[in-house]
Amino acid sequence: MIEVEGVKIDTRHWIGGERVASTRSFPDISPIDERHLGDLDAAGAAEVDQAVTAARAAFPAWAALGPTGRGAILRRVADGIDERREDLARVETRDNGSLLRSHRRGVMPRVAMNFRFFADYAEKLAHPGMEVRGHRERITYDPAGVTAIITPWNAPLMLATWRIGPALAAGNTVVLKPPEWAPLTASLLADIAHEAGLPAGVLNVVQGTGAEAGAPLTRHPGINRLSFTGSVPTAGVIAAAAAPNVVPLSFELGGKSPLLIFADADLDLAVDLAVEQFDNAGQVCLGAFRLLVQEPIAEEFTARVVERARALVQGDPRDERTDVSALISRPHFERVRGFVDRALADGARALLGGGPNTSLNGLYYSPTILADARPGSEILTEEVFGPVLTVQTFADEDEGVRMANETRFGLAATLVTGSAEKAERVSEKLSAGTVWVNCFFVRDLGAPFGGNGKSGIGREGGTYSFDFYCDVKNTVFSPAGWRES
């Protein structure tokens, strides 16, 4: 047991409705000041197998409850999250360095919504059915079994429950492996779910590294679905591990999204959207870090973005005045610094920042805006996952669209224009799972979410989630052969 921000947290796994200890442990370090928060039990193959076994044992009874029975419990879980919203916000801020004000106002309410929305959706989920040559076809969504969920550190609880919510609502049981760099709120979630009456074994949490806990989970033969959010290289390893068991996969991976700004755009709006990309210190997969600006407005737009970004306050995320916090860990900090150092050596020019924040030290990397990067260079093509924007210009619509699509990723794209016709025309040409027009980060949970290209496999949200987490069954009834009863 450790105490973080006045909140007591059990450092053991949660398996089969009980706390389970391991002989090994791993350290949890806060990015705010690189302070050691405590050591957590580290799972290996034995604990993973125990968790999968518990999930399989709990599956029949959980599936048999039906959407209504499951929904009642999941809504109680959501209520428990609301009741402990402040604890969850403070702990996750300390654990992953995201802004406390964001956790309070947006992230933790969304965590509760992930349970309520999918509980409600499952109760209404129905297919109209079909008919062929007089035969009636009934299409149903059957629970698939055990779902393995592996989540990232940039929004650990929100992204975990975005998968846990629909998986449980569908009637599956879950084994969650939280990120080793920010694992604490997953342990609190297990307590909340237990207190809400979630049956033992329905949700299991195994902590540890990807190599020791993630690897045996992804290759376990008892897994029926696997959802992963993270990097492209890790996704490749997971896919190879899961392939012998032919496990359906849902991958939400990286991005290198464009913010495409046309000369007819509302410049105030365009500047607001550009500066918003520094949210969470740029550690956002959906972030539009490539600013593509039409030439007539490029000089004014760039000057205004630099001025606004220079005014951002960087510091302790627990301070309500802070806009930009620290990067998650020392290895990630060095990774981001390496990207920028190589870009500058390759001829890019720093309009703002370009290095660590020397007044803060630690893991605080200055908000950075780069211009004149060489076309096709690493800084324009690879995901940095830090507070680093690049500025490029384009002459006309065709060139802007071409530059926007010059990426192996396709998670999202944002465009700003004053022309409704142009918005319709350009959005159709952009290769991305989500396109935002004159807005950013707006999406109903019923809408599809996922990426094109190297940004992922599949879509989740609304019916799309149940298409993945369920076995969709078609039963065909003949009009002949019935006996009177």
Both 272 and 385 in a single domain?
yes
Tens of pLDDT along the chain (485 residues) come to 999 999 999 999 999 999 999 999 999 999 999 999 999 999 999 999 999 999 999 999 999 999 999 999 999 999 999 999 999 999 999 999 999 999 999 999 999 999 999 999 999 998 888 999 999 999 999 999 999 999 999 999 999 999 999 999 999 999 999 999 999 999 999 999 999 999 999 999 999 999 999 999 999 999 999 999 999 999 999 999 999 999 999 999 999 999 999 999 999 999 999 999 999 999 999 999 999 999 999 999 999 999 999 999 999 999 999 999 999 999 999 999 999 999 999 999 999 999 999 999 899 999 999 999 999 999 999 999 999 999 999 999 999 999 999 999 999 999 999 999 999 999 999 999 999 999 999 999 999 999 999 999 999 999 999 999 999 999 999 998 888 76
Both 302 and 317 in a single domain?
yes
Given the residues 180, 252, 383, 460, select the one marked as catalytic: 252
Both 242 and 272 in a single domain?
no
- Conformation bin of residue 247: beta by default, left when phi > 0, alpha when psi is -120 to 50: beta
Pairing state of beta strands 409-410 and 452-453?
A: antiparallel
Q: Single out the residue of 437, 130, 71, 44 nearest to residue 262, CA to CA.
A: 437
Note whether residue 460 is domain-resident. Answer: yes
- Residue whose pair of structure tokens reads 């500047």 in the numeric block: 271
Residues 162, 133 contacting (CB under 8 angstroms): no
Both 433 and 459 in a single domain?
no
> For position 289, what pLDDT does the model report?
98
> For position 36, what pLDDT does the model report?
97
Both 274 and 410 in a single domain?
yes
- Conformation bin of residue 296: beta by default, left when phi > 0, alpha when psi is -120 to 50: alpha
The H or E element spanning position 135 is strand 135-143
The Cβ-side half-sphere exposure at 192, using a 13 Å CA radius, reads: 25
Give the predicted TM-score (pTM) of the model.
0.96
CATH label of the domain that carries residue 469: 3.40.605.10
Note whether residue 480 is domain-resident. Answer: no
Q: Single out the residue of 127, 129, 131, 91 nearest to residue 108, CA to CA.
A: 91
Q: Write phi, then psi, for 347 (nearest 5 degrees).
A: 110, -5
Residues 203, 168 contacting (CB under 8 angstroms): yes
Both 151 and 174 in a single domain?
yes
Q: What are the distances in angstroms from CA 66 to CA 149, 150, 162, 169?
A: 22, 26, 20, 9
Both 68 and 94 in a single domain?
yes
| Cα angle for residues 288, 294, 298 (degrees, 5° grid) | 85
What residue numbers bound the domain in which 345 lies?
Answer: 258-437
> For position 485, what pLDDT does the model report?
63
Both 269 and 298 in a single domain?
yes
Domain count, the chain: 2
Is residue 252 part of the annotated active site? The answer reads: yes
Residues 432, 409 contacting (CB under 8 angstroms): no
CA-to-CA distance for 335 and 419, rounded, in angstroms? 40
Both 68 and 106 in a single domain?
yes
Note whether residue 481 is domain-resident. Answer: no
CATH label of the domain that carries residue 296: 3.40.309.10
CA-to-CA distance for 231 and 237, rounded, in angstroms? 10
Both 38 and 184 in a single domain?
yes
Note whether residue 483 is domain-resident. Answer: no
> For position 323, what pLDDT does the model report?
98
Note whether residue 44 is domain-resident. Answer: yes
DSSP string covering 346-384: TT-EEEE--SB-TTT-TT-BPPEEEESPPTT-HHHHS--
> For position 127, what pLDDT does the model report?
87
The H or E element spanning position 110 is helix 108-124
- Residue whose pair of structure tokens reads 């607001």 in the numeric block: 272
Q: Write phi, then psi, for 457 (nearest 5 degrees).
A: -130, 125
Note whether residue 450 is domain-resident. Answer: no
CA-to-CA distance for 230 and 217, rounded, in angstroms? 16
Both 168 and 280 in a single domain?
no
CA-to-CA distance for 463 and 141, rounded, in angstroms? 10
Given the residues 47, 180, 212, 285, select the one marked as catalytic: 285
Note whether residue 233 is domain-resident. Answer: yes
CA-to-CA distance for 322 and 123, rounded, in angstroms? 41
Note whether residue 442 is domain-resident. Answer: no
DSSP string covering 238-254: HHHHHGGGT--EEEE--
Both 234 and 282 in a single domain?
no
Pairing state of beta strands 258-261 and 412-416?
A: parallel
